[in-house]
Amino acid sequence: MRLNRLLTDIWERRELLWILVLRNLKIRYKNSALGFFWSLLTPLVMILIYAVFARILRFNEGQPWYLQMLVTGIVVWQFLSTCLNDSLSAVGGNTNLVKKTSFPRIILPLSNVAANLINFMLTLVVLIVYLLAVGLRPACLLGLPLVLLTHAALCLGLALIISSANVYFRDTEHIVGVSTLAWFFLTPIFYEAERQLAFMPENMRWMIYLNPMTGTVAAYRFIFMSLPTAGAPGMAISAAVCWGVLLIGVVVFQKAQRYFGDVL
Amino acid sequence: MSAEHAIVVDGVTKEFLIRQSGTMTLKSAVIERFMGRKRYQRTLLALDSVSFSVRKGETLGIIGANGAGKSTLLSLITGTMLPSAGTIRSSGSVSSLLELGAGFHPDLTGRENVFLYGAIMGLTREQMKQRFDAIVAFAELSDFIDQPVKHYSSGMYVRLGFAVAVEVNPDILLVDEVLAVGDESFQRKCIAKMEEFRREGRTMLIISHDIPTIQAISDRILFLDHGKVAGLGDPSEITEGYRSASRSKLAKSSEREWGSGEITIQDVTIRGGDGPAEDFSFGDEMVIDIAYEAKEPVARPVFGVAIKDVKGATMFGTNTQIEGTTIERVEGKGRIAVRFDNLALAGGTYLISLSVHSEDHRTNYHRVDNRYPISIQAPKSFEGVHLSTEWKVQK
């Protein structure tokens, strides 16, 4: 059981993982007067900006809770996009550690994703408070850990692939930038999943859930806003893709990390 | 792997692929794969079937010229690289000093970096807390430990790096070129610490260019030359081999030879008290035996000798004319010898140059610069040529 072995290795270096997570968070808010409060302030400011523009531009007038739906979608998306962005330098930015010391390399991207997860959870607190304040009722917060974990699995899987690819290929950064942008618009964030479904023949509608973010965003909207989902099969497909990406990521990374020391 | 061995290196080869042009991109990888276009690549053989083992509690010194594969070997043992062929097995925790303070993050403080390194070594925060004071004391950094390490001087960086690596109490300590940095008092402290390590029965692998120190501290020495094991065994024996190899390399690199050729220096033997020698002690006798050949008769030639240090400074130079030895005429083959009664030179490597030229110095018949290396061991650490001195303290 090589996976078992990997988990044991990571567990043995949990202290290192924790220190790297703290380092990530610390460096992010270093030299800023408000420090940690930025992680609460940023989403608040973002909600405010979208609220003002939605009012001025009058888009989707009449659709109930459009602004809240939009903000939820963007907050959820941001966790993924910061993970993808940070993963570019997860290994390459720690050349010193990789070339000179020995530890399970997977801890580097893992610590990035974990730091972003902590940040994301703080943002979610702000979001939930906001949604409660405007009168929305969450459906089942008990399901949140499961959704969070599945979402994080997707982020980690992609972070593993990108962080190892960026060691070998210098154009990874550009590919990630362009694909992330395309992916953002393919995911129902500015719009509801039903709009996409309308384009699809009945028997092919399940395919939109092959985009794991479609199901993920819908799941958060269901939990926080009680917006209806497209049903269990679609959500299951998205969740399966998330965990599948993690599995592929682990395999790719473990193969790639063998030669990090040579290439860096 | 038997229980008495700490490290077993078995047939280890390490190759590096060196790309001749450009960086690797996903685009180029795809093009190479599908279009069959291959950019020119070169392999560099850093280590070539190296095998040896280190016993528990043994101190192994590793010497060799730059690029001989010493650091690659330590990287492989640390586990930051994998061998292309062969296996490396080690038992116990390995703490490595591949460059001092490696792995320190410039934006973090000294304190944070100490805990980071401890965590890399697999120690818990509690264990590091117990060692923290000893680390700071050893590194002499109590005033700076909460400053980001990017503000440290290189000496401070090195001190902290060494202190952390030894205080995490590894079973095996790998040290790469530590003795070359830091001031003298810190070097002494490092050596004392390494001696302590040795007494405690821990295993150490040390790379250094400081041959006398490594010879003193090691139980055995491994001599690497172009990625191959050129010698392994008794420190004084191996360092001797290394010294003579690097001496002849030094002589080869700075050697020059020219002349008009009326007289040529053919064969040179350098002898000590009991036969041909390259190694001398301070105050020894040295004889240079020169066999020459004059193709045509030459009147009043002058033979000269010079001794230079490795930096090219002349320590001493003279010739037959200066010393009042007149050679009326040479023809055909002949021999001439010069004897030094008392080699009063500082310890180190020297290169001997020989020449033969005309009486008026206008024609150089033959001149051989820096071809003949010798080394001198001196009991005292004076510099240059030892002149007779007497100190008198006056009130």
Residues of B in contact with A103 (CB under 8 A): 120, 122
B-chain residues near A18 (CB < 8 A): 119
* Distance from C-alpha of A125 to C-alpha of A130, rounded to nearest angstrom: 9
pLDDT digits (tens, 9 = 90+) for B320-371: 999 999 999 999 999 999 999 999 999 888 999 999 999 988 889 999 988 8
pTM reported for the whole predicted model:
0.76
Residues of A in contact with B207 (CB under 8 A): none
From A158's Cα to the closest Cα of chain B, the distance in A is 17
Interface test mutation site (partner A, options B28, B95, B116, B125, max chain A beta carbons within 10 A): B116
Cα torsion B232, B235, B238, B243: sign: positive
- The minimal CB distance from B103 to the residues A30, A96, A169 is found for A96
Q: Which of A12, A30, A170 sits opposite B23 (nearest CB)?
A: A170
- A chain contacts of residue B24, beta-carbon cutoff 8 Å: 168-170
pLDDT tens digits in sequence order for chain B, 395 residues long: 567 888 999 999 998 877 655 566 777 777 766 666 555 567 888 899 999 999 988 999 998 888 888 888 988 988 888 899 999 988 877 777 656 656 677 878 889 888 888 888 888 888 889 999 999 998 888 888 898 888 888 788 888 888 888 888 788 888 877 666 667 788 788 888 888 888 888 898 988 888 888 888 889 999 998 889 988 988 888 888 888 887 777 777 778 888 888 999 998 999 988 888 888 989 899 999 999 999 889 999 999 999 998 888 899 999 999 999 999 999 999 999 999 999 999 988 899 999 999 998 888 999 998 888 888 888 888 888 999 889 999 87
Neighbours of A18 (CB within 10 A): 14
Interface predicted TM-score (ipTM): 0.77
Q: Give every residue of chain A whose pLDDT is below 70, as ranges.
A: 1, 30-36, 59-62, 230
CB-based contact B240:B233 (threshold 8 Å)? no
Question: Cβ of B224 under 8 Å from any chain A Cβ?
Answer: no
Question: Are A100 and B103 an interchain contact pair (Cβ–Cβ within 8 Å)?
Answer: yes
Report yes or no: A99 at the B interface, CB cutoff 8 Å.
Answer: yes
Burial class (CB in 10 A: 0-12, 13-18, 19+), B346: middle
How far apart CA B362 and CA B168 sit, in angstroms, is 68
Residue of A nearest to B72 (CA): A262
Beta-strand pair B256-258/B172-176:
unpaired
Q: How many CB atoms lie within 10 A of CB B323?
A: 11
* Residue B337 near chain A (CB below 8 Å): no
Is B98 in a helix, a strand, or coil? Answer: strand
Q: Which two tokens stand for residue B330?
A: 């040479």
Measured between alpha carbons, how far is B299 from B287 in angstroms, rounded to an integer? Answer: 25
Could you say which residues from 128 to 167 on chain A have a Cβ atom under 8 Å away from some Cβ of chain B?
165
Q: Residue B287: its pLDDT value, please?
A: 93
Measured distance CA(B292)–CA(B298) in Å, rounded: 12
Kindly report the nearest CA distance between residue A22 and chain B, in angstroms. 10
What's the CA gap between A203 and A45, in Å, rounded?
42
Instruction: List the single best residue of A88, A102, A170, A171 to mutate versus B (max B Cβ within 10 A).
Output: A102
Is beta strand B59-63 parallel, antiparallel or unpaired with respect to B220-225? parallel
Q: Which residues contact B173 (CB under 8 A, 6 or more apart)?
A: B94, B95, B96, B97, B165, B166, B194, B197, B202, B203, B204, B205
Structure-block tokens of residue A245: 């990406």
- Which residue, among B73, B80, B176, would best test binding to A if mutated, counting the most A CBs under 10 Å from its CB? B80
> How far does the CA of residue B137 sit from the closest CA of chain A (Å)?
23
Buried b (16+ CB within 10 A) or exposed e, B95-130: bbbbbbbbbbbeebbbbbbbbbbbbbbbbeeeebee
Q: What strand order describes the sheet that includes B286-299?
A: B275-276, B263-272, B286-299, B329-340
Separation of alpha carbons A153 and A109, rounded Å: 12
Cβ contacts of A12 on chain B, cutoff 8 Å: 122
User: What confidence score (pLDDT) does residue B292 get?
Assistant: 93
Half-sphere exposure of B17 (CA within 13 A, CB side): 14
Distance CA(B114)–CA(A34), nearest Å, equals: 27
d(CA A50, CA B145): 46
DSSP run (H or E) holding B340: strand B329-340
| Cβ–Cβ contact A2 with B under 8 A | no
Residue in A15, A19, A101 closest to B80 by CB: A101
Whether B48 contacts chain A with CB within 8 A: no
CB B266 within 8 A of CB B259: no
Nearest alpha carbon to residue B75 among A264, A89, A251, A167: A264
CA angle, corner A50, sides to A47 and A52, nearest 5?
105
Helix locations, chain B, DSSP H: 26-35, 70-78, 110-120, 125-139, 154-167, 184-199, 211-217, 235-254
DSSP A103: S
CA neighbor of A238 nearest in space, from A160, A153, A136, A166: A153
For A39, list phi and psi in degrees, rounded to 5. Answer: -70, -20
Look at the block and give the residue holding tokens 């570019």. Answer: A88
- Amino acid A113: pLDDT: 96
Report yes or no: B335 and B291 within 8 Å, Cβ to Cβ: yes
The strand pairing partners of B303, in sequence order, are B356
Nearest CA in chain B to A258: B82
Q: How many CB pairs under 8 A join A and B?
A: 83
Question: What does the pLDDT read at residue A43?
Answer: 78
Mention every residue, 6+ apart, whose C-beta is less than 8 A from residue B389: none
Indicate the helix (H) or strand (E) that contains A12: helix A2-12
State whether A171 and B120 contact (CB < 8 Å). no
